[in-house]
Structure 1
Amino acid sequence: MAPAVISWPAAASADIYRYEDPEGTLHFTDAPTDKRFKIFMRDIKKDRKLRTVFKLPGYARNPAEFEPIIAAYAKEYGVDSSLIKAVIHAESGYNPNAVSRKGAQGLMQLMPKTAQGLKVNNSLDPSDNIRGGVRYLRFLLDTFKGNESLALAAYNSGMGSVAKYGGIPPYQETQDYVAKVLSYRNNYR
């Protein structure tokens, strides 16, 4: 399959939304008509105005800016940096300001209660969020004796679900999540 090349006219100004269907095809739009579309790229002019009015940090445009943070915590907690990048990619698309409908926040989409337990003071701070997320991944990997698939399933649907089913839960979202993260991890290697 040939890689997609997307370009926008310089004068264009709109948020861009993205959705990946079950077959792996990416769909982009500036006018989402389906709740499966998630923000992919903010309108730069509107984004600057929002940051000025609400004092919000900027949106990541380049995943490489998080490389030093990822490398440091990968080393500290002994977690493969490719796996960390894959989780960040799947969870937030490298948007440090991402907040899910369920309340998960930041690059690694930590739920407030989980973040609190990991001593994450600010889930929207990239370093704090990645530290907490990697620490949680390390815990899950240890809990599931290094089994990345089970650790990822627990990251997505909770340890209780994995324990209840004795493996990856039969939830389509969780099964898709594990496959997607492992695929991304292989691409980051």
Structure 2
Amino acid sequence: MARAALLLLLAVFGLQSAAAQVYRYVDENGITVLTNIKPDFSIYPDAANVGCYGTCIRGVDWHATPLRHDSFAEEVTLATERFGLDPALVRAIMHAESWFNPAAVSHAGALGLMQLMPATQQHYGVEDPFDPLQNVIGG
């Protein structure tokens, strides 16, 4: 389930332009959906327009920013081994969410490399969202 959610996240954020909108809602099967297509709010009244820090940075040439970023290699390795994920996937999420900035803060209140929201931090026991290891493990 975690892999599917991360793959969905990568697919959505990997295709977004700097000005694109991203929507999140829970479908009739209880699955969290992230999409660039505006949902029918009469069917999904709790749908939210979410954004991400990384894709909102002006002046960043996303085509020139490598996904094979070597920063936080130890944190990525620990998280991917623990959860059985591909390191490239985690780096892609970090790239889209924070542009590898551990001090990133979004306008929506998401924090750190993986842009954790306060409820996610609490759910996964992340005490310091600006600590790279805690943030990557929580993300």
> Shorter-chain TM-score category?
0.5 to 0.7
Structure 1 pair 102/64, CA: closer, same or farther in 2 (3 Å)?
same
Which of residues 79, 87, 91 is equivalent to 2:93?
Answer: 87
Asked which structure has the greater CA Rg, the reply is 1
| Structure 2 stretches lacking a partner, 5+ long | 1-16, 21-54, 61-67
**Aligned residues of 1:40 and 1:93 also touching (Cα < 8 A):** no
- Residue from 73, 76, 80 that aligns with 2:79: 73
Name the structure 2 match of 1:131.
137
Per the alignment, residue 65 of structure 2 pairs with none
Per-residue Cα deviation, 1:99-158 (whole angstroms, up to 9, x for no partner) = 11110000000001111110000001101100111xxxxxxxxxxxxxxxxxxxxxxxxx
Percent identity for Structure 1 against Structure 2? 38
**Alpha-carbon displacement from aligned partner over 1:52-79 (angstroms, at most 9, x marks no partner):** xxxxxxxxxx941301110111011111
Q: Deviations over 1:32-59 (max 9, x none)?
A: xxxx852678xxxxxxxxxxxxxxxxxx
What's the TM-score, normalizing by structure 1?
0.39
Higher relative contact order (CA 8 A, sep 6+): 2
How many residues align? The count is: 82
Query: When you count helix as a share of all residues, which structure comes out higher?
Result: 1
Distance 1:81 1:113 in 2: 25
Unpaired segments ≥5 residues, structure 1: 1-18, 23-35, 42-61, 134-189
TM-score under structure 2 normalisation? Answer: 0.53
**Aligned runs of 1:145-164 on 2, under 5 Å?**
none
After superposition, the CA RMSD in angstroms is: 2.4
Cα separation, partners in 2 of 1:21 and 1:68, compared to 1, 3 Å: same
* Residues 21 and 103 (structure 1), Cα distance of their counterparts in 2 relative to 1, 3 Å cut: closer
Match of 2:45 in 1: none
Check if 1:64 corresponds to 2:57: no
